Structure 1
Amino acid sequence: MLLTYIKGETPFPKFSATFMLDDVIVGHYNTETKNYVARGNTTNEDDVVDPKHFRAISEHLQNHLTDRSSYLKPVNSTEGPLVYQLMGVCELFDNDKSGQLVTKGAFGGSTTDELRFFDDKFTISYDVNYTAQEMKPFLDLTTWRHKHLYYPACITTLKNYLKIRGTQVNRKVKPRVRLIQRASSDSGGSRLSCLATGFYPRHINLTLFIDGQPVADHEITGGDLLPNDDGTYQMRKSLEISAADKHKYTCSATHLSLDNTLDVILESEEYVETPS
């Protein structure tokens, strides 16, 4: 769950709430109609969430973001809107055992507070100079809401969504890996790019080798994980090489969908894929 409160004039809603199952957006809270709206559903999801719970939680957190933002001051006195965000994550283990609930607040790009709830125990840290008088009512109310409202609602919704979206988030899609060499007009050499695309889940290890040894990180550009339109991901790592370069380059990919490491070898201007 990701909530955003904006203080100031922008074309965006003052308050918004997005709900995700792992990395798949499953719904959002409409502040005008005060309803939960499912997104991308291919089956009937009317019974996945409790409308009253989601409305109550969203309204509570909207009030919380509004109230807490009054205590926060920007680091630099600049004009423009101020953004306060809250992220809440609850976990479910493979054995169907409920995990922890973590909530983090952020203002101006920096974390302001973090709360963890697990086995009826709370830990909290904050980077704002609250007085004890300000903190006590906040902590008392937050503790009660996490234990009796947020945590059970999050775990129940998570279990319900896994019943109908489990196949989607547990799927494994193999990456398509290519090693591409293109001439660079600026340097007279070429750019070597290792591209892995179309894979799911998002975690992948992509490594460039030169003569069997990993290329130093400071020589590589790219490496950002990017989404594809179909819900899969892509990653590209590139390296500049000279025109006289005679080394042997390999791109190696490891992913949950692969039984073995996938190696793509570049020799001259040709490449071959070989599982290792």
Structure 2
Amino acid sequence: MKVPAVVLLILGSVHLASTDTHSLTMVATFISGETQFPEITMVLLVNDVPVEYYDSDIKKIITMAVLVNDVPVEYYDSDINKFVSRRHWRVNDSIQETDLRDYVVADIGNILQKSSHTLMKKYNHTQGVHVSQEFAACDLEDETLSRFFIMSAYDGEEKFQYDALSHIQNTLVPEFVWSKETSDIRKQIYANTYQPLSQTGSPLSDPTERPRVRVIQKTEPHSGRTQVSCVATGFYPRRVNVTLLRDDRPVPDRELTGGEVLPNGDGTYQLRRSLSVSEEELRERHRYTCTVSHLSVDNKLDVNWGKTPVRIAVLIAVLVLTALIITAVVLCRRRRHTGEEDEDWMMD
């Protein structure tokens, strides 16, 4: 039987100008019913990259294999029974941090099972496969939590949301409304366990790769129009902001196509945004600028295509004219020199 797809929610944008801003997310899934999948799975992501995985079949947390430029940088060795890392994405685990993670895994698993059983009973789901999920996410800016929330869903529909910073609960299921006693307990758990774990889980030296940016054009085969594309590739992490400008003004999103961040084969990412330009617009000789903001760039990257700025055009014209004058002078001297040699020969 097909298992309902796991939907990963995407965090909102972070401040790209800060290299000390990171996101930490965990997706946990509980499956009730007979399937070939583990009953409970959990995935931890740092800046949208999976770094740790847990499932109820192996009953342990492992560091997932991470490759940078096709080179393994993290792996787990069952013979030596410990994690080995060539690129530390977090502080080496202390006993306290290991205990915190074990507690969080047990707590989330317990919550998922209880909520799943409650909803199965509520909706009279006695047969088939049903999926309960919990999604926890936080943004860490300069070692300070700027956002931390937990969401729960059942069979793809959101049922519960909790802001762990403001302690505001929003639930669509009456059975999930907390009593005051439960609310106080959960506040303590999130403040004393989840929050410290999320802060110790921040990356220390998450590498960045600078995007390669260019503006390209090609003729559309069916319409005959020209497609102007802004291409950014080879960047990491995947969060990026790409804007296409026409004569220094942003092109409206409704005129652009593309915009989806796609993975490259080497662990980096790429993004393309394209604009279809008519022959009339080409004759107007607009200048198009691709502007890219990314964690690896201090300010932004600008790449131009189109009409040449006036100053540059004047400079080019002057250089061309100078080259022509120099060429003419050299040719005249050669001809004069050749003429003098011919005259001397005739006199001889």
Inter-partner Cα distance in structure 1 for 2:147 and 2:208: 26
With over 3 angstroms needed to count, the CA separation of the structure-2 counterparts of 1:180 and 1:80, relative to structure 1, is farther
Inter-partner Cα distance in structure 2 for 1:93 and 1:261: 20
Greater share of residues in helix: 2
Greater share of residues in strand: 1
Q: Where does residue 106 of structure 2 map in the other structure?
A: 59
User: Is 1:36–1:51's contact at 8 Å kept on the other side of the alignment?
Assistant: no
Inter-partner Cα distance in structure 1 for 2:210 and 2:149: 31
1:239 matched to 2:239: no
- After superposition, give the CA deviation of every residue in 1:34-77 in whole Å (9 maximum; x if it has no partner): 111012323388942644443332232122112212344799x9
Q: Where does residue 150 of structure 1 map in the other structure?
A: 194
The alignment-based identity, stated in percent, is 32
Q: Where does residue 221 of structure 1 map in the other structure?
A: 257
Inter-partner Cα distance in structure 1 for 2:149 and 2:299: 35
User: Is 2:257–2:275's contact at 8 Å kept on the other side of the alignment?
Assistant: yes
**Amino acid across the alignment from 2:195:** Y
Q: Where does residue 189 of structure 1 map in the other structure?
A: 225
With over 3 angstroms needed to count, the CA separation of the structure-2 counterparts of 1:227 and 1:135, relative to structure 1, is farther
Q: Where does residue 46 of structure 2 map in the other structure?
A: 21
Structure 2: any 5+ residue segments left out of the alignment?
1-25, 67-73, 75-84, 308-348
| Deviation (angstroms), 1:18 | 0.8
**Amino acid across the alignment from 2:28:** L
Q: Where does residue 32 of structure 1 map in the other structure?
A: 57
With over 3 angstroms needed to count, the CA separation of the structure-2 counterparts of 1:243 and 1:204, relative to structure 1, is same
Inter-partner Cα distance in structure 1 for 2:129 and 2:305: 50
- After superposition, give the CA deviation of every residue in 1:152-210 in whole Å (9 maximum; x if it has no partner): 3333x425xx3xxx212xx4432111212222222122322211112234333312223
With over 3 angstroms needed to count, the CA separation of the structure-2 counterparts of 1:126 and 1:198, relative to structure 1, is same
Q: Where does residue 253 of structure 1 map in the other structure?
A: 292
1:205 matched to 2:205: no
Q: Where does residue 271 of structure 1 map in the other structure?
A: none
Which gives a bigger RCO, structure 1 or 2 (Cα 8 Å, sep 6+)? Answer: 2
User: Is 2:214–2:231's contact at 8 Å kept on the other side of the alignment?
Assistant: yes
What is the SS of the residue equivalent to 2:259?
Answer: strand
Task: Please tell me the root mean square deviation across aligned C-alpha atoms, in Å.
Answer: 3.4
Given the two structures, how large is their TM-score scaled by the length of structure 2?
A: 0.61
Q: Where does residue 272 of structure 1 map in the other structure?
A: none
Q: Where does residue 78 of structure 2 map in the other structure?
A: none
Structure 1: any 5+ residue segments left out of the alignment?
269-276
Inter-partner Cα distance in structure 2 for 1:81 and 1:127: 22
Q: Between Structure 1 and Structure 2, whose CA radius of gyration is higher?
A: 2
Q: Where does residue 4 of structure 1 map in the other structure?
A: 29
**Amino acid across the alignment from 1:54:** R
| Deviation (angstroms), 1:10 | 4.7
| Deviation (angstroms), 1:227 | 3.1
Inter-partner Cα distance in structure 2 for 1:141 and 1:33: 30
| Deviation (angstroms), 1:28 | 0.9
User: Is 2:160–2:176's contact at 8 Å kept on the other side of the alignment?
Assistant: no
User: Is 2:91–2:201's contact at 8 Å kept on the other side of the alignment?
Assistant: no
Q: Where does residue 84 of structure 1 map in the other structure?
A: 132
Q: Where does residue 167 of structure 1 map in the other structure?
A: 205
Given the two structures, how large is their TM-score scaled by the length of structure 1?
A: 0.75
What is the SS of the residue equivalent to 1:167?
Answer: coil
**Amino acid across the alignment from 2:51:** V
With over 3 angstroms needed to count, the CA separation of the structure-2 counterparts of 1:239 and 1:99, relative to structure 1, is closer
| Deviation (angstroms), 1:222 | 1.2
Inter-partner Cα distance in structure 2 for 1:194 and 1:201: 19
- After superposition, give the CA deviation of every residue in 1:105-138 in whole Å (9 maximum; x if it has no partner): 12344432222234xx622211223276x75675
Inter-partner Cα distance in structure 2 for 1:4 and 1:193: 39
